[in-house]
Structure 1
Amino acid sequence: MGWLDRAGLAVLRRIDPETAHALALRALNLGLVPLPGAITSPRLATRLAGLDLPNPVGLAAGMDKNGVALAPLARAGFGFLEIGATTPRAQPGNPRPRLFRLPEDRAVINRFGFNNEGMEAMARRLEHRPGDAAIGLNLGANKDSADRAADFATVLETCGPHLDFATVNVSSPNTENLRELQGRKALEALLRGVLAARDGLARPVPVFVKIAPDLTEGEIADIAAVAAGVGIDGIIATNTTLDRTALRSGNAAETGGLSGAPLFARSTAVLARLHAETAGAIPLIGVGGISSGADAYAKIRAGASAVQLYTALVYGGIGLVARIVRDLDLLLMRDGHANVAEAVGTGG
């Protein structure tokens, strides 16, 4: 980690986490953080659901909820970006405080509740997005919506013309009853509606679905079957967890979704199970607890065609992205893989 990253993180850790988050985005926009630009190699170049990516390491949703730092994030070394979540109408989310650091566990708990400025504001920002980056949007539903399933399609219809992919987020634990949409019947109806909206775009984009880590094997099998049946383009595994096993930090009892290092094993197990259920026929994106090139490689070997990270940046700074990407390249070379696709699912 460079001295600038270390100094910046030391300052931010003394500040309320949500305020620190906003300041970090501001620092990116002001050019106060050195950024490496695109990082790629023949081994790292990845094709994901028809998208050609310079590398398979993406930014997970949540860091840039309103698309305010697209240009600098596109130069941070990521192979792709996912922003949002975005709902049809702006909403404030849950009361503060709603973001908690767990430094002893290298983790974070959040209960934001889809706070965002709404789809119209997001669409306006996306009109000016950098054209040389793969950018996707995490689709959400308003807390007080009479038809949450329809909300996802509505956001895609509005923002879709400016996107490279979209993610249906039915797995956040911070909107009451949202995870019920992961049930087989509800999920199938919801995804068919979103895919119909996608097919109505002038330039249809891949649609992914993001699932929770707190699922039984039967529920994972149901999701895999629904995804195959409706023709979803990929599955993101996983969102945050409600589990609090073996945490050491003082904030461990806070309600909300837990992300970071403690999620790694659970999310990777769900990923591997999905890979077995889908027989590799549906691209998978591995998320949860990635903080090193070795972690990213483990997700790929478990079945992921690409990965995403976010929480590790709280502790490692934005410079961590380049280190993860370059270390992943070395691991692929060490094991004789000509590309990422060759390594997918090789972990047994």
Structure 2
Amino acid sequence: MNKKPGLGDFLQRRRAQLLPADVGLPDFGERRRVPGLRRDELAQLAGIGLSYYTRLEQGVSLNASPEVLDALARALGLDEVERTHLHDLARATRRSGKRRRPAPEHMGETTMQLLEAFGDAPAIVLGRRSDVLAWNRTGHSLFAGHLDRRIPDQPDRRPNMARMVFLDAHTRDLFVDWRKKARTVVGKLRLAVGQYPDDPALATLIGELAMKSTEFAALWSENRVRNWEIAAYRMRHPLVGQMHLNLQTLTIPQEPGQRVVVATAEAGSGSQAALHLLARASSPAPRQAGHSSATAECAQAETSAI
């Protein structure tokens, strides 16, 4: 991650992604020296002075008012998530003095109770950097059955979903729509940077991914943000085959930055049947015969679960 990704970088990159026609400005076919809108065009659209906007983009002016930020958001055509991110970046830019690092993350007892309440539905708890803080039995089997189930209990060894999506072959194969998942992961990390600009572990993670994955570096340079919400994915599990799943995100009010992600499928679908089989296969079997039966059913499901 750059030393000063902040407000100026976001404005510059989003400005470069717009053409005059995108914002209703005439295009006389002149040859442009830079991609996207010029600074004067964006300043005009936002109703602010060119010199003031230039200082904002260069990081010289650190006191953009909420009204100016909202005007820039409208001019850039930002959605609500992106507008909130713009305000987060501006607040981070205005901070001065010694900054307090975020406290280490831990999962409370009530969150563990919530996780267990999902029963056989695959569920995982993610922290502000997308570290896996916990998962239930089926959540572990769905997302990371190749890893030790107890590893989230060790803070310095916890899996990180962003790292897994880009650097772990098992996770890459798990998502048929890998490119879609990768864009979502990068967008969520961008969102986290605005919310937790003083988190050194977050900066380290982004730097590691940019160094080890050219795909991550390319997506990161787009400066897009994504909210935590419901998303549909096609997944290819090595035990039960292909499934169409909805990954739904629930925030945890008492633990800022933490979220529960739950996988569900359409009622009566082959994907729901595959999830049931995955739950059975990952359950401790009292009798070996029962375990073998569940495993055999999973093998049969590889050709029928869709």
The alignment's TM-score, normalised by the length of structure 1, stands at 0.24
Would you tell me which structure has more helix in proportion to its own residues? Answer: 2
> Of the two structures, which has the highest relative contact order with CA contacts closer than 8 Å and spacing of 6 or more?
1
In our comparison, the structure showing a higher alpha carbon Rg is 2
TM-score (norm: length of structure 2): 0.26
| Structure with a larger share of its residues in strand | 1
